[in-house]
Chain A
Amino acid sequence: MKDLIKHFGEYVLLMGKVFRLPDRQRMFWRQYAREIEKQGLQSLPIVIIISVFIGAILTIQTKLNTENPLLPTYTTGLLTRETLLLEFSSTILCLILAGKVGSNIASEIGSMRITEQIDAMEIMGVNSANYLILPKIAAFMTMMPLLVIISITVGLIGGLGVGVFTDVITIQDYIVGIQYAFNPYYVWYGIIKSLVFAFIITSFSSYYGYYAYGGALDVGRASTSAVVNSNILILFADLLLTKLLL
């Protein structure tokens, strides 16, 4: 418990240093553009691959579990869409990205800490927390809603692929299903959740990296802690937001 309070206190103090006006706006935007590329654009391939396969798999599994003459034929498309909108493309995608982006952030900042690069910045008079962490948080929070929308779209296309290439479901039933009783608020719900999760991933991973000490092994440990704890917090936040927003 004492450790938890200590971590929380350090985290709050670090965020206090992070959320300040950058020393140089030009340098901030340059870092921001780099992070957009590194965290957002470089995550696109994995998001597309996972989403297309999950979309297809969801469609097949849903069809197999809803083989009942009492259920309408559009049920498979409808359930695939709702699963993608409500949970997969926001929460599950963020859990996956916590592994990719979170470990990358924690190891990058952790390596800078143990090789005294952060100390060098501080000695120059740079607010290192602000310079290193703020662009990461801002960039990932910018890119996450886009990744969610891409994931939903590609996931639905993956489901459509099942209709095109197999006889599990007809294309017409699937298309009717994904359009049936569509509630646009569910898209906003997914985007709001993803913004919160993006903040959790970047800020917690940065925290674990920033306070890393020792050697390469300790940076590895910090990276693992960042991913595990981000995942746990994402699940807690998911529960809370679902209760609040739905």
Chain B
Amino acid sequence: MIEVKDIVKSFDGTVVLNHITTTLKDGQVNMIIGQSGSGKTVFMKSLIGLHKVDSGQILYDGRDLSEMNEKQIRELHREVGMLFQGAALFDSMTVLENVMYPLEMFSSMTAAEIEERARFCLQRVNIQERAMELMPSEISGGMQKRVAIARAISMNPKYLFCDEPNSGLDPKTSLVIDQLIHEITEEYNICTIVNSHDMNSIMEIGDHIVFLKGGIKEWEGSRHEIFHSESEALDDFVFASDLYKKVKRANSKL
């Protein structure tokens, strides 16, 4: 569980995150949503420790991030998996080597155990055996994302961060990635944080949603509560498309 308590972050006097408080629980997909420039990325980077917050606390199962030194943050990062927007696979390594990399760096397993674990993770995200020896540039964008998920879960992380996991993917592949994130979150009881503005993802897997606007937490709730929210800003963002406006009207009548 990650507890965020009243955090403030500013750059050159411009406040980007303004007194945000929320709790991100284990075993659920916590989605950070908002328009471009709303502070989503800064919020996620602050959670991970890539940005130091000006004030407030970020507690990883009670451990205060702001009180950790560089070494302690590095140790905490070994409990973290991250799926980057562009997958960020190491292009000098094969698919299999990419997943083996964190295990080789930090686990005490033997070489055979490392390879076995990496193959298991890749199979878990439905990567075929023959694709494991390919280079990242030789596989599709959707497969790259799946390999990145396999790499992120290889060390059994307690916390999984996903930055715009569906960007650049077609709707069908996006659905596969969403379902995979959701399944893995429940299966391993991970605290998953997804940064997204993809409405389909939000409605598909958003167990807990935090809506940011101009650096302020505008709304917080589950995906089911979105349809009954009173927030105009949330309505503007979520129901920007005609389709979702119709869905909301239909839900409101129920």
Interface residues, chain A, CB within 8 Å of chain B? 23-24, 26-27, 111-112, 115-117, 119-120, 122-127
**B77 with A125: CB separation less than 8 A:** yes
**A27 with B75: CB separation less than 8 A:** no
Query: Does B85 reach chain A (CB closer than 8 Å)?
Result: yes
What's the dominant secondary structure at chain A's contact region?
helix
Cβ–Cβ < 8 Å partners of A119 in chain B: 50, 84, 88
CA distance A211 to B140 in the complex (A): 29
Q: Which of B86, B91, B105 contacts A126 (CB 8 A)?
A: B105
Cβ–Cβ < 8 Å partners of B82 in chain A: 120, 123
Interface residues, chain B, CB within 8 Å of chain A? 48, 50, 74-78, 80, 82, 84-86, 88-91, 101-102, 104-106, 155, 161
Q: Which of A23, A24, A27, A115 contacts B86 (CB 8 A)?
A: A115
**B106 with A120: CB separation less than 8 A:** no
Cβ–Cβ < 8 Å partners of B48 in chain A: 123
**Which residue of B has the minimal Cβ distance to A111?**
B91
**B84 with A124: CB separation less than 8 A:** no
Cβ distance B160 to chain A, nearest Cβ, rounded Å: 11
Cβ distance B56 to chain A, nearest Cβ, rounded Å: 21
Top 6 closest pairs, chain A to chain B, by CB: A125-B77, A116-B88, A120-B88, A125-B78, A123-B82, A125-B74
A sample of 15 cross-chain residue pairs with beta-carbon separation below 8 angstroms, ordered by A number, consists of A23-B106, A24-B104, A24-B105, A115-B86, A116-B84, A117-B88, A117-B91, A120-B84, A120-B90, A124-B101, A124-B155, A125-B74, A125-B76, A125-B80, A126-B105
Cβ–Cβ < 8 Å partners of A127 in chain B: 74
**B104 with A124: CB separation less than 8 A:** no
